[in-house]
Structure 1
């Protein structure tokens, strides 16, 4: 009898792990998380919604450059008692994209930190005078305004 209970316990544990893994993978496909506030606001507007900043962590970046850490639809009621369906409450992280001495931000070991570190390395490489003629540097520097010191 105890063998049957153990098998049932293992099956229940496996089922619980599978159920929780689905929640983790759904965050990866979220349409707003990881986007800048400017990008998220544009997306919400295209859904006929109104973005509202709910919380802000940090103060290093301009509001449009802050990253969306989470969001939810408003559950508030208006003065007539109707639910406000098209209000999106957005939580922002306005710390630097990459932490450095005396400046809070993402760890270089995090996915966002690794991505930012690669961008900084590419910008540094494209800013070297001998790379001025390298064709991919001009569009890279245009996409990442302010990161490159070379004039294209």
Structure 2
């Protein structure tokens, strides 16, 4: 019985110690930059005073700034004394294939989740380009998509700017 109590107390003490030393994981307030083009994501990082570094690349069909960010994380590098080095350096994994495959152009299948999402967004932006008034009542929503994805016409951008609250 005493061994059982001692084991439970030991386990609780160990758990408290681990939590106290930061073993709870990372409660990250890091922004989600996945799905953005590298150009737009790196602009955001630079706006925060950081540096964008390409960690890995898949494909070669797109210019680097047009590649889609599949993962972004702040670099956790320690110097020789164990202190954090390279604060503000962000590592990016990029997909440089087209968002949706086309004849002779590798990319996501339109039937895949990522391809279906890309086709849907392309459709929304195409309809907004034809009739910017579709964004009435949803200006901030349309603006967010124009900021994060390519394809918005200059006319649409001007309409959104003129009608922003």
For Structure 1 versus Structure 2, the TM-score category normalised by the shorter chain is 0.5 to 0.7
Equivalent of residue 110 in structure 1, options 109, 112, 129: 112
Partner of 1:63: 64
> Quick one: distance in 1 between partners of 2:102 and 2:76?
38
CA contact (8 A) 2:122 2:151 kept: no
> Quick one: distance in 2 between partners of 1:81 and 1:58?
36
Q: 1:61 to 1:147 in 2, by over 3 A?
A: farther
CA contact (8 A) 1:123 1:147 kept: yes
Q: 1:41 to 1:101 in 2, by over 3 A?
A: same
Q: CA deviation at 1:112?
A: 2.9
CA contact (8 A) 2:125 2:151 kept: no
TM-score, scaled relative to structure 1? 0.56
**Superposed CA RMSD:** 3.7
> Quick one: distance in 1 between partners of 2:33 and 2:87?
17
What residue ranges of structure 1 are gaps of 5+ in the alignment?
A: 1-28
TM-score, scaled relative to structure 2? 0.52
What residue ranges of structure 2 are gaps of 5+ in the alignment?
A: 1-29, 135-141, 157-165
Q: CA deviation at 1:120?
A: 4.7
Q: CA deviation at 1:45?
A: 1.5
Partner of 1:10: none
1:55-88 deviation per Cα after TM superposition (whole angstroms, max 9, x unaligned) = 1111111111111111222233569975111111
Q: Is 1:32 aligned to 2:20, yes or no? A: no
Aligned residue pairs, count: 116
